[in-house]
Chain A
């Protein structure tokens, strides 16, 4: 991954400018981790690392809190059985190894030994059983239930072995265990909303909501030598302009930008490093399949042909991102390159008009496009999209809805919208991403349901063989774009801004903070 160390070395060796480096970084995102780490200096331990962000979740509850802003800080305090690496691969964490039975329905996990929770108690197999049953309990309403839904039974074979049986072979079980709701918690701590008791690298010291969160290094962390910094502080600064000011004046070490346009304010500042890397999350336009005229595939295709995604990316995120299909470029190895979709991704107003005429709308039609005013990329994107649709006679009136109102009206069972801008944090696994949003039994976003797509999504869930699974999801991606299930627009870059003496090597496509390996040069 892109690493500040590479920047320092390139600058010394080749006299590269900062700007050159930043351009190179987008490419370097695909660089093997080994290259980056080989070039690293040895980390200097110590110091307090200070980061800032605009929002925080109302609670820290790792299994139940829905808010996306909670996911990002989870890895500070908790571990999962398996975890996504910064490069998007599944790696052993609290599980050291695992085997599957011949029929693919029984998984046996050997757990890491000698791991302690922050309260001093040893981590054992029963904690896994407790945690997963907690996530699966319908009364508790965890958003992670869907991720672990394949699980039928959890058995504690011995103190350090867990056996999990599934109803059917499940290709995404490991991804579910690495998912945002699967952090392992101790049975004896019932309320984890305002405290954090995990096995992770940092121990929560103090959390003052809407002000700051302080954590110190866990001296008993099982991954010896880590973390490098003695303490971490996360400040909540609601205005990103103020965060930029705090970066410029050296009051904080790091921020992950929420509004990529602010990159323009820091990119030429010598004291700061801004690193762009791909992320799983993306922007899109949801289309309500339950409403006319969007029931007609030709109408949806016409919309898809009318929009110019590069222009949207430019307007909404200053070009800092990449155009995406149903699986974002960060979802390696699953994502098809966007060139695959060029038939539908090259703006073609003439063909769009022809499709509209065939569908019975030679003069276009009036419709609405909803946005949440506090989401800057949605607002800017919607204006461009409305202007583009006008070219084929579709008059989309932009309607602003406050976040809480928007959630209420666009979701199941209300589905009170024609078109709406939407944003997701995405998912590293294609089944986790697609099934619950596009399968007709779930109907999350577009009020849709296509039997061919359903069949492929069912097949993908059961196909454990990676090559065959890839084949299934290749078909899904093509079919979804061909049938214009929705309009995928772009995946914004993840932009971490740090002081130039901060080494921040891990940039998780999942948006997680890479604080486990961060270190300060001074």
Chain B
């Protein structure tokens, strides 16, 4: 078990290094730099000003030198300073992490609360009208873009209920009730798309397990259908669900970018979007590296959970 954990943790490091390189290169492959952004289309700038601005941001150095400088600082825990705000990148990310974490967690809870029971229901009533209805609805909810659904819900709320989600974020620790009012709708919007994935996964996984020999044996022993499903089949169908949950964290973090934008939540996603538009390289690199690290950690947690749930992994 210990060996398994150590191997999994060590294997994260080369992946992170790969991500850092890919991100570094990708932001520089997008045409336009922070200097072009500062100048815009209407400024009157001399070539000399442009040169001095490029030098100021260190853009005149060869790429490998720029990468080396950044990586060296990052290894020392310094993700650099945002070019546009002058604040340390890590500080900016940490200040916003709470919001994104809460949104991701909320969406995950929504996704599971809706997706898993519906999946079980659908599997238990396989090929009935109810099953078809659930599956079509889930396909529908998967297909609606998050940003559209969010805007429509906000506009509908303001039109018919005279209610709009508050835009001043308050911490759940300071005002739990007000925080719930702010986070409920975004979590619901972000969670419903993921719920469809959970529903489909639960359904197929449970159906597969239900077809296995040990379920037949359980039935042959004369166990009630309830204890067959809950006592034997469900626990065994959990492994793929946990895998999906781990991967969904990544999708939810990505979806958070859009959701935070529409609902005006001051999270990491909006920070990233703004940084890309502004070509704030240190902030883009830092934020993506941070999100990648989060994603890897959640997958690491999933792998460790397998070991807890499945004795074969624990002992193997």
Within the complex, what minimum Cβ distance (angstroms) separates B257 from chain A? 11
Within the complex, what minimum Cβ distance (angstroms) separates B254 from chain A? 17
B262 CB contact (under 8 Å) in A59, A66, A238, A437: A238
Task: Indicate if B180 sits at the interface (CB-CB under 8 A).
Answer: no
Q: Which residues of A contact B164 (CB under 8 A)?
A: 242, 245-246, 248-249, 251
Task: Indicate if B16 sits at the interface (CB-CB under 8 A).
Answer: no
Contact across chains for B84 and A239 when beta carbons are under 8 A apart: no
Which of A209-217, A376-384, A452-460 sits within the interface? A209-217
Contact across chains for A245 and B44 when beta carbons are under 8 A apart: no
Task: Indicate if B181 sits at the interface (CB-CB under 8 A).
Answer: no
Contact across chains for B41 and A239 when beta carbons are under 8 A apart: no
Task: Indicate if A409 sits at the interface (CB-CB under 8 A).
Answer: yes
Q: How far is the CA of A405 from the CA of B44 in the complex (A)?
A: 19
Contact across chains for A248 and B36 when beta carbons are under 8 A apart: no
Within the complex, what minimum Cβ distance (angstroms) separates A55 from chain B? 9
Contact across chains for B42 and A246 when beta carbons are under 8 A apart: no
Within the complex, what minimum Cβ distance (angstroms) separates A280 from chain B? 13
Task: Indicate if A193 sits at the interface (CB-CB under 8 A).
Answer: yes
Q: How far is the CA of A265 from the CA of B151 in the complex (A)?
A: 13
Contact across chains for A239 and B261 when beta carbons are under 8 A apart: yes
Task: Indicate if A359 sits at the interface (CB-CB under 8 A).
Answer: no
Q: Which residues of B contact A409 (CB under 8 A)?
A: 31
Q: Which residues of B contact A241 (CB under 8 A)?
A: 151, 154-155, 262
The answer to whether A249 and B162 touch (CB under 8 A), given A238-B264, A404-B36, is yes
Task: Indicate if B168 sits at the interface (CB-CB under 8 A).
Answer: yes
Nearest B residue to A139 by beta-carbon distance?
B52
Contact with B along A503-516 (1 / 0, CB 8 A): 00000000000000
Q: Which residues of A contact B264 (CB under 8 A)?
A: 235-239, 242
Contact across chains for B158 and A238 when beta carbons are under 8 A apart: no
Q: Which residues of A contact B261 (CB under 8 A)?
A: 238-239
Q: How far is the CA of A246 from the CA of B46 in the complex (A)?
A: 44
Q: How far is the CA of A245 from the CA of B155 in the complex (A)?
A: 6
Contact with A along B139-166 (1 / 0, CB 8 A): 0000000010011001101110011111
A410 CB contact (under 8 Å) in B41, B45, B150, B263: B41
Task: Indicate if A194 sits at the interface (CB-CB under 8 A).
Answer: yes
Query: What number of A-B contacts does a CB cutoff of 8 Å give?
Result: 134
Contact with B along A231-268 (1 / 0, CB 8 A): 00001111101101110110100000000000001000
Q: How far is the CA of A410 from the CA of B40 in the complex (A)?
A: 11
Contact across chains for B86 and A436 when beta carbons are under 8 A apart: no
Q: Which residues of A contact B32 (CB under 8 A)?
A: 404-405, 407-408
Contact across chains for A146 and B44 when beta carbons are under 8 A apart: yes
Task: Indicate if A346 sits at the interface (CB-CB under 8 A).
Answer: no
A411 CB contact (under 8 Å) in B41, B85, B166, B270: B41
Contact with A along B28-62 (1 / 0, CB 8 A): 00111100111111111110110011000000000
Nearest A residue to B49 by beta-carbon distance?
A141
The answer to whether A436 and B154 touch (CB under 8 A), given A58-B84, A210-B274, A242-B167, is no
The interface of chain A, by Cβ under 8 A from chain B, is 52, 58-59, 66-67, 138-139, 141, 143, 145-146, 149, 193-194, 208-212, 235-239, 241-242, 244-246, 248-249, 251, 265, 402-405, 407-411, 422, 424, 436-437, 442, 444-445
Top-8 shortest CB links A-B: A245-B158, A408-B32, A245-B164, A404-B32, A58-B84, A146-B44, A143-B43, A241-B151
The interface of chain B, by Cβ under 8 A from chain A, is 30-33, 36-46, 48-49, 52-53, 84-86, 147, 150-151, 154-155, 157-159, 162-169, 261-264, 266, 270-271, 274, 277-279
Q: Mind listing 21 A-B residue pairs with CB under 8 Å?
A: A58-B84, A66-B40, A66-B43, A138-B46, A138-B49, A143-B44, A194-B86, A211-B266, A241-B151, A241-B262, A242-B167, A244-B158, A245-B165, A246-B164, A248-B162, A251-B167, A407-B37, A408-B31, A410-B41, A436-B42, A436-B44
